[in-house]
Chain A
């Protein structure tokens, strides 16, 4: 414990450097603005800012991008509450009761509870990250290629089981992503696969161009032509203060949402989206007046907002401890760290303590910055929403082209982004979840390499996966989840999605 405290002090000595503070602050502001803009969620925001971090040192880069991430999670709630427009998917549930509160003249308390819940959940998440990541990383030092193969396969099964939409469609998208990851030079044999003679594809398909295409461009293709400039309420500072009763009602949902969100955040998939739906379902079930939900219940804002913020932090645990992304956002952040020659994984905490603990400490600071900054300045931020979409979307498109091109000064990346934008647009029309594509793209080469390394180690014996207890346990868990996922298909029973009202989240 004392060691953790000393490490945290090291982190604060890094995080309180003026340059780091400035970038954490800047990341939070940019993230809040990005989260408020439809078409620019946290993923697109981080991807577009990625080239700007190339010239920064790795600690500053990751602090800036993390600030954008949790800033965007907060910004999404503002538009949900004030305009019933979720700036990003995790804020969909906040729309339901948040906007009803706005219609009832209680927009201020809804915003304040969302901010307080986000702050509390963010802090719980960082404490969890601080305690869990080093332990998990020490444990992962025992991992060899068979364990990584088992872990990655288990992750894919968890992704399918926990996905918001159809399990089969999620699996199809994960496999599609894994296939995209096969493009480029095969490290073990030197063959260049599926490159169509394009030299640039030898290095594989970049996560940034795929992510911006799938999530940014496809969103614009779906929403362009929307002429409405919505009316926005601007609550004053005095109007933000919740009543005692609202505080009392929100306390439980904030605490439950924080714990639940952090645990779900560690799991692969669209955790921040799922956590908000699950939290809403739990709060409605636990309430003595469930009929209030959907008509402006503050618990319906407090729970989901806390859950999605805690999940955002939880996603950093496997990223930093194992080097495995569990969401498209963490996949892009891994790319950001690797550009600086640092490999995330079990050795990261030992080899780069300043980076890990500086990052953890900067998240404490960032959460505080968001709370202090966003409530008094909410009136200023909502002015952004008054910009007509006719001006906004061409500028977002220009940013997408600029951001993707800048990653490696390659037009191929721009073409990939446009193709992925078109593909994403069609897939969304057919209710396919796109997050597994981005995850599969990153996990594909890791999975193939670890599988072939395992077989090289064992002389071609598949028994190696059964001889190693950790790998066997993971395969067992993955198989169990697969059976659980198949149960509703075979017995026509309800699965967990129907129980929390998640059937349509992929839409």
Chain B
């Protein structure tokens, strides 16, 4: 009898890698990257700090704190215990938002938001065509009217004037 894939112990679980050790080391890596980026800016002296001085101090602080998080992370949850059941949907959401962001200035607010909502409520959430069209169309038009027309916030308009 085989266990479902998600119940099988992962290599991380068996070796017991702790979540805080991983997150602490990631912070150390981020700090290292910032220090590397900061090399372009004059650090100055203790008495006369340059533009690179405070970022350097902060990056060192982040690295030290990250190291402490990792060192003291022995009692934290194992990495394998952190569940990511919504990760696929999260990636889809971020990807759809990125596409919407790219489209916004080209096809305008109303069409972009209409297509964005159709994508989520239709294929992703599997609702019927009537609610999909009503919610997507209604939201894009009403929100444009309230935010754009009534509150005079300039919103992007597509090449067709819509």
- With CB as the reference atom, state the residue of chain B lying closest to A187: B51
Question: Could you say which of B30, B37, B55, B140 has the most chain A C-beta atoms within 10 Å of its C-beta?
Answer: B55
- A194 touching B49 by the CB < 8 A rule? no
User: Please, how many angstroms separate the alpha-carbon atoms of A459 and B47 in the complex?
Assistant: 7
- B51 touching A397 by the CB < 8 A rule? no
User: Please, how many angstroms separate the alpha-carbon atoms of A431 and B22 in the complex?
Assistant: 13
- A414 touching B101 by the CB < 8 A rule? yes
What residues of chain A lie closer than 8 Å to B100, measured between beta carbons?
398, 401
Tell me whether chain B's interface is mostly helix, strand or loop, or mixed. Answer: helix
Q: Which of B72-103 contact A (CB under 8 A)?
A: 72, 82, 84-86, 89-90, 93-94, 97-98, 100-101
Partner of A225, one of B86, B152, B154: B86
Question: Could you say which of B22, B58, B61 has the most chain A C-beta atoms within 10 Å of its C-beta?
Answer: B58
Q: Judge if B13 is at the interface, Cβ distance under 8 Å.
A: no
User: Please, how many angstroms separate the alpha-carbon atoms of A220 and B121 in the complex?
Assistant: 15
- With CB as the reference atom, state the residue of chain B lying closest to A223: B86
User: Please, how many angstroms separate the alpha-carbon atoms of A191 and B52 in the complex?
Assistant: 9
- A225 touching B89 by the CB < 8 A rule? yes
What residues of chain A lie closer than 8 Å to B104, measured between beta carbons?
401, 405, 411, 414
- A179 touching B139 by the CB < 8 A rule? no
What residues of chain B lie closer than 8 Å to A421, measured between beta carbons?
94, 97
Nearest Cβ on chain B to A200's Cβ, whole angstroms: 14
Known interface pairs A168-B65, A182-B58, A189-B51; A394-B19 also in contact (CB < 8 Å): no
Q: Which of B107-162 contact A (CB under 8 A)?
A: 109, 113, 116-117, 120-121, 125, 127, 131, 135, 139-140, 143, 147, 151-156
Nearest Cβ on chain B to A356's Cβ, whole angstroms: 25
> What class of interface size applies to chain B in its complex with A?
35 or more
Known interface pairs A399-B143, A401-B101, A460-B45; A406-B155 also in contact (CB < 8 Å): yes
Partner of B109, one of A394, A402, A425: A402
Partner of B51, one of A191, A223, A395, A399: A191
Give a binary string over A168-201; 1 marks a CB under 8 Å from any B CB, 0 the rest: 1101100110110010001011010110000000
B residues neighboring A (CB under 8 Å): 19-20, 22-23, 27, 30, 34, 37-38, 41-42, 45-52, 54-55, 58-59, 61-62, 65-66, 68-69, 72, 82, 84-86, 89-90, 93-94, 97-98, 100-101, 104-105, 109, 113, 116-117, 120-121, 125, 127, 131, 135, 139-140, 143, 147, 151-156
- B86 touching A411 by the CB < 8 A rule? no
Partner of A425, one of B90, B105, B151, B152: B90
User: Please, how many angstroms separate the alpha-carbon atoms of A225 and B131 in the complex?
Assistant: 18
Q: Judge if A51 is at the interface, Cβ distance under 8 Å.
A: yes
User: Please, how many angstroms separate the alpha-carbon atoms of A388 and B135 in the complex?
Assistant: 12
Nearest Cβ on chain A to B27's Cβ, whole angstroms: 6
Question: Which 8 A-B pairs give the minimum distances between C-beta atoms?
Answer: A460-B47, A394-B120, A390-B125, A221-B90, A191-B51, A186-B51, A52-B151, A414-B101
- A172 touching B93 by the CB < 8 A rule? no
What residues of chain A lie closer than 8 Å to B105, measured between beta carbons?
411
What residues of chain A lie closer than 8 Å to B69, measured between beta carbons?
166, 168-169, 172
Q: Judge if A224 is at the interface, Cβ distance under 8 Å.
A: yes
- B27 touching A418 by the CB < 8 A rule? no
User: Please, how many angstroms separate the alpha-carbon atoms of A455 and B50 in the complex?
Assistant: 11
User: Please, how many angstroms separate the alpha-carbon atoms of A55 and B153 in the complex?
Assistant: 8
- A455 touching B90 by the CB < 8 A rule? no
Partner of A172, one of B66, B82, B135: B66
Q: Judge if A430 is at the interface, Cβ distance under 8 Å.
A: yes
Some 10 contacts from A to B, beta carbons below 8 A apart, are: A169-B69, A191-B51, A224-B93, A225-B85, A393-B120, A394-B120, A398-B116, A411-B101, A447-B54, A452-B49
